[in-house]
Structure 1
């Protein structure tokens, strides 16, 4: 049986292209998930690996869909081989477990995927630091304008209204007003 495996890293990404390509390549069953490849403990991957039989072929589009870490890739490959199954990749035809050199190739390709992931994380961190240095604020925008925040704090300080009443007047939750109070009480923030 030809068994496909498709993966994207986030819920916002689409699996359609991978699934269509795997079906076109003859996959009778396709396991798919939307989880980061940095962790090999993915439910659908483990389910697929646990159900392999001798003669099965696992098919994916590229190495990093299976694993981003070379050690994870080798462990997955060992599981596939132990079941008497094989592994092939559509976009990396040099990777075919019927060849004795496949372990070396898989390790190198897995290492490259890990290196690429590390570069992505480093670039993201640099971009975030640069944006923060330029004054970009991350996170959800405040529901209240700075004027409304000062006004709400003034109303709280006067003590005539409850936090809940003030929140209702601005159409926000009372924890929103509570966070303003906490922020005011911690001037370092």
Structure 2
């Protein structure tokens, strides 16, 4: 059996390119996920695929960072595939193929490069977030009530008006009003 594995990190990303490549490469069954590649534990479909490999099966993916971003993970995955009697091949990295004797060494090096890319992405994201915060950019959901409205809510609560009536007046939920009251304490 020729299996294909496609992965992207977020739900907004598209798998179409990988799926098309895997179909054209002759995959009989393609497993895909929209999960981070930082480790294999968070990818249940991939773990099921690995556990189900049998002697003679081939596992194809487009490139190593679709399979693993960590060099040790990639080598361990190679070993697991080999111990099942199967083969792992990467369409865009033909030098990582369990048929070669030095595949694990090359995979470790390639995995290390993938790990460095991931660390660079994380650093760039953190730097961008810090710069945005320094410019006054607010992160997270926009507050449902302005500061002026919050003050009005607290004033109405202090006068004993029920939360349900205040919530209705501001077109928000009672829990939103309760949290405003809670912030006042």
TM-score normalized with structure 2 length: 0.95
Residue 149 of structure 2 is aligned to residue 148 of structure 1: yes
Q: What corresponds to 1:6 in structure 2? A: 6
Question: How far apart in 1 are the matches of 2:58 and 2:97?
Answer: 10
Deviation of 1:142 after TM superposition, in Å, equals 1.1
Deviation of 1:114 after TM superposition, in Å, equals 0.9
Deviation of 1:146 after TM superposition, in Å, equals 2.6
Q: What corresponds to 1:102 in structure 2? A: 103
Q: What corresponds to 1:55 in structure 2? A: 56
CA RMSD of aligned residues (A): 1.2
Question: How far apart in 1 are the matches of 2:100 and 2:44?
Answer: 28
Q: What corresponds to 1:30 in structure 2? A: 30
Deviation of 1:145 after TM superposition, in Å, equals 2.5
Q: What corresponds to 2:129 in structure 1? A: 128
Unaligned 5+ segments in structure 2 are: none
Deviation of 1:182 after TM superposition, in Å, equals 2.6
Question: How far apart in 1 are the matches of 2:123 and 2:44?
Answer: 28
Deviation of 1:184 after TM superposition, in Å, equals 3.0
Question: How far apart in 2 are the matches of 1:176 and 1:129?
Answer: 29
Residue 152 of structure 2 is aligned to residue 163 of structure 1: no
Greater than 6 Å deviation, 4+ residue runs? none
Question: How far apart in 1 are the matches of 2:95 and 2:76?
Answer: 19
Deviation of 1:89 after TM superposition, in Å, equals 0.8
What CA deviation, in whole Å up to 9, does each residue of 1:56-82 have, x standing for no partner?
A: 111001111101111111111111000
Unaligned 5+ segments in structure 1 are: none
Instruction: Give the secondary-structure state (helix, strand or coil) at the position aligned to 1:144.
Output: coil
Instruction: Give the secondary-structure state (helix, strand or coil) at the position aligned to 1:153.
Output: helix
Tell me the matched-pair count.
184
Question: How far apart in 1 are the matches of 2:35 and 2:18?
Answer: 15
